[in-house]
Chains A and B, each alone.
Chain A
């Protein structure tokens, strides 16, 4: 009798401890937060109506279908452009503008730029600690050239010093670039 009670109590305890979850009702597989698109908008500093843009768009996120848009950056020689970056999550309805969140947490983020097409790129916006952010930039082109421009977004929570090597890479797009 004593044994029976012990076993019964133990079984009850186990049953309580392992209340089952629902496995046939899975959560949707699309992630809550995703960056699908990067849009670079250029405005000629000498002529506000001379604009151009370059886009990278991968609406279903990493993996799955390949990116649908991957533009070449085409700029005119010996000009200065103001450039701004917009990041979107186009997998959501309505589309979520991720760059607004980057702007809100600018103390933790840093865009880095490097170009082999003879373009010098200067960051013009600063965070609360007077460190560069990179949502706004100034691009100075030289003579006609072709090359690549790599744009990276580094996530540097609590460790941002201006060092471009720190942190995890949230965005890295390598645009083919033509100055003509």
Chain B
């Protein structure tokens, strides 16, 4: 296999350098609308191979200069139109006319869609939430946005902290790529949300499996990529603002971005988000100390020439979240008392924006430098360096008893995690073959202060991968191979003596995928197999202490080996004549799955007995089935359903795994009214979602048995106002319209309080400058 890949690389490099180098050819063209025959301004024409882009002028014209002769794929996109792509064999100056099919009413809310650039790839089991679909979802957290995708749920800690769960996997088993940088935050705690502002994004994609080899060995559950739009080279000044208000916790969100090209070579973008919310209200009562504040910004600067693209990016994410006082409890007795009281302690009627202990304060910086070199039409090289700094402070409910310690008002937990990564990437794009190879290197260090929970450590990770995609007739094949080595050095100070144990983990990972199209028009069938692995985290090896947020004593095990996952998947995708159907069947077998399990007896301390959880390695199996169907019943009315079923089993104990999300079903209808002059795409959408009781798990193995099933009703309506070439989007959405009282199995606050009641939001999306949408 390795030999084969090496010979393929050698061959490709040879081919690449042999290519003819006449690079003064020009493409000129015109973009028109198929229905109105009008010239389309601001259509984006992209040469896929070189990533060069041009915007059409007011007369619909565009041009590319200084191109090398060769085969090119041109993609033309214009908002409201379906993307059009075609290939041309360029030998001399050429003029092309592009007719864009106008499909204004094609847009449904969050639909399962293939990404245009990757449509041909075999490992294409992914779901993108693109810019226009994102507009009604903005303002929410990353978890809120991705949970609209089938197979994705969220792990909540109250209404304000959420983290994504893909097919039952979360935390360290999911990789989050924030603008091309692998997020290295502190995902080891259930109440640790990803440090990402989704308002930065233009497209959010969830990958299951096959492609994951590229992002790391540990993308067992999948990968979520959050990407900003390409920088606006050659485009005049523009930007957009989002203003959002929520009724339940009186939260206001303001987000804006401005961007501009400076000539055709330079471009920049500045983006910022601020959100401030007051106490969250359940249908019966308000939850004291659940206010939040968040301020984020990012800056990007880029340089683009025919051969080079250099980009620098920096972002800061800063959130302070009040933790519901009634959920920050002491020992087993306190917990029982909290569970047994129908209305929690510490309720409130006040919509206050201030909060006190307990709270979290998390600051995450990301810096990135990315250089891309287009050697020729087929070969691209990328080098990227990124640095991340994550500072997580947790303040307990009570200050220390000692006055002088209390006066310092220090956090009880403080972690500083710093990560440096270097990535090198080579991409070959041919007619039938696409080849990607790369290396990743990472250095990470953690420093703690306050109460001991996990030790200081330093980790080094080195990995190399290669992915080949090949297309032949109606089949597409994809094979990926990866090898990683991780060194871990832990530093502990036990009674003044520093000890530093070492670990080394290494393993291959791979994926193999095949896709078939054209059996019936519109039908795609695909399957993939893979192996992934994950070294144990420091928290799994070394936790030893009281986790106050969870009221549990957590104990790690320093003898853990790596966790290895073998998965098999098959899917069907059909899209034709107003019908879209997708079904994905997935199974993962885990060798040495690291699981946090309750153990007896409880740990006896002077503060009482504490429920005790130990990390254990078990054999486990995850089976999931996701399916969605949408049918255009009439030209205006679309009916749809999205469903997520999961069975997670522990073969070692012979029981279903705790905390696996229960089965979920969703049914909805969307009605789109006809456009009227400036009023575009007015719609109303009603969605009912039913979450079952988690009947699989042993109800006695948890502090409180799983909550009963519940059904929620959500309604959303909105429209786009087209005024002087600018499209303003307005939407009103109500979640939990009937103010249903419920508790969710995957909400850690379910022990203490009901979930959020009715929440009505008003969202405005205001483009300005040259930005039309």
Chains A and B are bound partners: yes
Report which A residues bind B (CB closer than 8 A).
3, 6-7, 10-11, 13-14, 17-18, 20-33, 35-38, 56, 58, 61-63, 66-67, 98, 101-102, 104-105, 152, 155, 157, 165-166, 168-174
Chain A contacts for B452, CB-based, 8 A: 27, 29-31
* CA A32 to CA B412, docked complex, whole Å: 10
B553 partner, pick from A63, A98, A166, beta carbons under 8 A: A63
Q: Are B333 and A29 in contact (CB under 8 A)?
A: no
Q: Are B493 and A26 in contact (CB under 8 A)?
A: yes
For the complex with contacts A28-B494, A157-B398, A168-B398, 17 further pairs of A-B residues with Cβ separation under 8 Å are A10-B369, A14-B387, A18-B389, A24-B500, A25-B491, A27-B449, A28-B496, A36-B606, A38-B606, A61-B605, A62-B606, A105-B403, A155-B398, A168-B330, A169-B330, A169-B333, A172-B608
Q: Are A11 and B498 in contact (CB under 8 A)?
A: no
Q: Are B310 and A26 in contact (CB under 8 A)?
A: no
* CA A98 to CA B402, docked complex, whole Å: 8
- A-B pairs, top 3 by smallest CB distance, nearest first, are A172-B608, A169-B330, A62-B605
* CA A27 to CA B401, docked complex, whole Å: 21
A-B contact count (CB 8 A): 154
9 pairs, A vs B, C-beta closer than 8 Å: A10-B369, A29-B452, A31-B451, A32-B405, A62-B546, A62-B606, A101-B403, A105-B403, A171-B607
Q: Are B606 and A171 in contact (CB under 8 A)?
A: yes
B510 interface contact, C-beta 8 A: no
B176 interface contact, C-beta 8 A: no
- Contact stretch, chosen from B108-116, B454-462, B676-684: B454-462
- Near A by CB (< 8 A), chain B positions 610-630 give 610
Chain B contacts for A22, CB-based, 8 A: 447
Chain B contacts for A24, CB-based, 8 A: 456, 458, 491, 498, 500
CB distance from B299 to the nearest CB of A (A): 10
B397 interface contact, C-beta 8 A: yes
* CA A152 to CA B333, docked complex, whole Å: 10
The listed residue with most A CB atoms (<10 A of its CB), out of B312, B334, B399, B606, is B606
Q: Are A63 and B606 in contact (CB under 8 A)?
A: no
The listed residue with most A CB atoms (<10 A of its CB), out of B303, B399, B607, is B607
The listed residue with most A CB atoms (<10 A of its CB), out of B402, B545, B555, B609, is B402
* CA A155 to CA B325, docked complex, whole Å: 13
* CA A125 to CA B329, docked complex, whole Å: 27
Chain B contacts for A174, CB-based, 8 A: 608
* CA A32 to CA B544, docked complex, whole Å: 16
Chain B contacts for A25, CB-based, 8 A: 456, 491, 498
CB distance from A101 to the nearest CB of B (A): 4
Q: Are A23 and B447 in contact (CB under 8 A)?
A: yes
Q: Are B456 and A168 in contact (CB under 8 A)?
A: no
* CA A22 to CA B369, docked complex, whole Å: 25
- Known interface pairs A7-B369, A18-B389. Does A172 touch B447 (Cβ–Cβ under 8 Å)? no
B633 interface contact, C-beta 8 A: no
Of chain A, the residue at the smallest CB distance from B341 is A165
Chain B contacts for A28, CB-based, 8 A: 493-496
CB distance from A64 to the nearest CB of B (A): 8
B470 interface contact, C-beta 8 A: no
Write the B471-509 contact mask toward A (1 if CB under 8 angstroms, else 0).
Answer: 000000000000000000001111110101000000000
Q: Are B303 and A33 in contact (CB under 8 A)?
A: no
Q: Are A21 and B495 in contact (CB under 8 A)?
A: no
Chain A contacts for B707, CB-based, 8 A: none
Q: Are B455 and A26 in contact (CB under 8 A)?
A: yes
- Known interface pairs A20-B445, A63-B545. Does A35 touch B491 (Cβ–Cβ under 8 Å)? no
B365 interface contact, C-beta 8 A: yes
Q: Are B494 and A29 in contact (CB under 8 A)?
A: yes
Q: Are B493 and A66 in contact (CB under 8 A)?
A: no
- Known interface pairs A33-B401, A62-B607. Does A26 touch B330 (Cβ–Cβ under 8 Å)? no
* CA A17 to CA B452, docked complex, whole Å: 26
* CA A3 to CA B370, docked complex, whole Å: 13
Write the B567-598 contact mask toward A (1 if CB under 8 angstroms, else 0).
Answer: 00000000000000000000000000000000
CB distance from B662 to the nearest CB of A (A): 31
* CA A63 to CA B545, docked complex, whole Å: 7
* CA A23 to CA B495, docked complex, whole Å: 17
Q: Are B402 and A168 in contact (CB under 8 A)?
A: no
* CA A18 to CA B314, docked complex, whole Å: 12
Q: Are B493 and A105 in contact (CB under 8 A)?
A: no
